[in-house]
Chains A and B, each alone.
Chain A
């Protein structure tokens, strides 16, 4: 699944570590989701969208 996490993170000047702390996951998880190597679970996807104050569809797009 494609996503805009890296762009959204850069717009807010957040590091991966900061986003990981907010989401209560490891930095490894944030990196893997950003690079598309790992598709998050629904609860995590909702948490990511909520953190960016966007809808899931605005953050994640199908391949």
Chain B
């Protein structure tokens, strides 16, 4: 494993542990306290902070990659953004005109990561 990969693994692990703890504690607090407290907004956003740290770790890792690896990430991320963007746009039209059920926005980020993961093998194969 390269030094960059080791550093990324360390940083992402710390962020993931903090995220898991934040989700657990936020959920526990929300279940045992009334939802009409003014602190609910800050509480709901606490897990977003370690999630943001994950993004910082990812960006730092990509900056340490070589040029071809950066191209892989860039192409796969672009395909993911276009796919998820188009799908959410199309579904938004269906929500508006066909009265389809609304999907919570919290699923957009997992969809982006899933589409990125699905696109990567195809991007990688173009350079073999």
Tell me the A residues contacting B by CB distance below 8 Å. 24-26, 28-29, 31-32, 35, 37-38, 40-41, 44
Contact = CB atoms under 8 A, between A and B. Distances in A.
Most buried by A among B67, B71, B128: B67
Q: How large is the interface on B (under 10, 10 to 19, 20 to 34, 35 or more residues)?
A: under 10
A35 B126 CA distance: 12
Interface in B50-89: 65-69, 71
A26 B127 contact: no
Contacts of A44: 67
A10 B4 CA distance: 29
B75 to A, nearest CB: 12
Chain B interface main SS type? loop
B68 A32 contact: yes
Contact of A25 (B68, B71, B126): B68
B127 A25 contact: no
Nearest to A29: B68
B126 A29 contact: no
A25 B66 contact: yes
A38 B68 contact: yes
Given A32-B128, A35-B128, A40-B67, 15 more contacts: A24-B66, A26-B65, A26-B66, A26-B68, A26-B69, A28-B68, A28-B127, A29-B67, A29-B69, A31-B128, A37-B126, A37-B128, A38-B71, A38-B127, A41-B67
Interface string B9-28: 00000000000000000000
